[in-house]
Structure formats: structure tokens, C-alpha cells
Amino acid sequence: KAAVTFCSGTKASVDVSTLFSSSAGTATYTCTPTPTLLSGTTFSGTSTPSIYTIGVTYTSNSCSSTSSNTITVNANPTVSTGNDTSVCVNTNLPLKATVSGGKPAYTYAWAPGTNLSSTTVASPTFKSTTSVTTTYICTVSDTNSCVGTDNVKVTANALPTITPYIQVNGGTWLS
């Protein structure tokens, strides 16, 4: 039967007896490199990325046969969107999601999409015409469908208002 795969941090419980089939016999299961993850026929998930080998020995009429299968725990991508930042209104600000780990290729999803040039690229541009503060969450999925996220708060500050004054004929000041 097919091997089992899931992402680190996932609460997974796998009945290892479903990884094998046998015409007869009593089954004994093992797990390497971490035997404590196996209790009877239940493999309990782990946050540590690794490949776990599940071994089985079927015994019937003093004869035995062995086989193995794998459970793979894939690493999640790690995402960094940098420090919170601010700009003046009507100013382009490039944002960037830096990704490590996981398995490329990556897909990107920025939310909310307000004031962003795109929500599906690693480096969208922020630009707002009004004073606003928004926290953007970037979710990155890898080829294994494992996910990592990070967020960045962006503030667009209003420009200061300047009111010119003029003096009329050396007397009254007007705005």
C-alpha cells in the first residue's frame, strides 16, 4: 500500500496496519528511528520532519515474513516578511516574503489584498492614497502542501498640511 505523508506540526494518527496486507498470520510492528511514536498499531504524529520506517513481521505456523513501509513528516516552509514599517501616503513600498525550508516551488497568498499590487507573488508593492494601518499575512505553501506564515504591519502616514500666508501691502496676513 502507499506510504503516508503529512506536514510537521500536524496532529496525525495513523493505523499502521492499513499500510500492509497479509493473507494470514499475527502481525508485529516496529518504528524506526523513534520506536516510542508507535503504540500497538497507532503511529502518533510528530513535529519533527523525518522519514519513519514502519516494519511488520507476520508470523503463521512458525513461519514469518517481513515487510516495511514509510511515514514521511515533511518540514513546513519558514516565512519572514520583515519588520513592521511605515511610509507616506502615495508612496510605493515593496514588501517581500523570504522563504526557506519546505520543498520548492512555493505559492504565495497575501491577505488582505487591499492596497497591494498582487496577492499571489513573493514581493507585492504596497501603496495607499489614504492614511491607514494594515497587518498583512503572507501564507506560503510548498510542493508538499505544507504551509508557513508570517505577518507585517504597514502604516501609510498622512502628509503634513502646509498653509501659505501672504502679507497684503505690508499689513494684514492672510491664509
How far is the C-alpha of 127 from the C-alpha of 154, rounded, in Å? 10
Instruction: List the one residue out of 158, 155, 95 whose CA is nearest residue 122.
Output: 95
Cis upstream peptide for 94 (omega within 30°):
no
Whether the predicted pLDDT of 38 surpasses 80:
yes
Please determine, for residue 1, whether its predicted confidence score (pLDDT) is greater than 60.
Answer: no
Q: List the Cα angle 80/81/82 in 5-degree steps.
A: 95
In eight-state DSSP terms, residue 75 is P
On whether the CB atoms of residues 30 and 69 are closer than 8 A, the answer is no
Q: Please tell me the least confidently modeled range out of 39-48, 61-70, 87-96, 152-161.
A: 39-48
Q: Average pLDDT for residues 12-33, to the nearest whole number?
A: 86
Q: What is the pLDDT of residue 164?
A: 77
**pLDDT score, position 112:** 98
Close Cβ partners of 175 (under 8 Å, ≥ 6 residues apart): 163, 164, 165
Over range 70-76, report the average pLDDT. 92
pLDDT higher than threshold 90 for residue 134: yes
- Tell whether the model's pLDDT for residue 6 goes beyond 80: yes
> Is the entire prediction scored with pTM above 0.85?
no
CB 77 within 8 A of CB 146: yes
What pLDDT is stored for residue 12 in this prediction?
Answer: 79
The C-alpha cell that represents 124 in the structure block: 507585492
Task: Tell me the percentage of the chain whose pLDDT exceeds 70.
Answer: 94
pLDDT at 173: 65
Could you tell me which of 171, 168, 167, 139 has the C-alpha nearest to residue 152?
139
Averaged pLDDT, 152-171: 84
Evaluate if residue 29 carries a pLDDT over 70.
Answer: yes
- Contact residues for 112 (Cβ-Cβ < 8 A; gap 6+): 134, 136
Question: Does residue 168 register a pLDDT over 80?
Answer: no
Q: Whose grid coordinates read 496532529?
A: 11
Whole-angstrom distance, CA of residue 75 vs CA of residue 157 = 39
Q: In this structure, are residues 148 and 138 in contact, taking their beta carbons and an 8 Å threshold?
A: no
3 state DSSP class of 48: coil
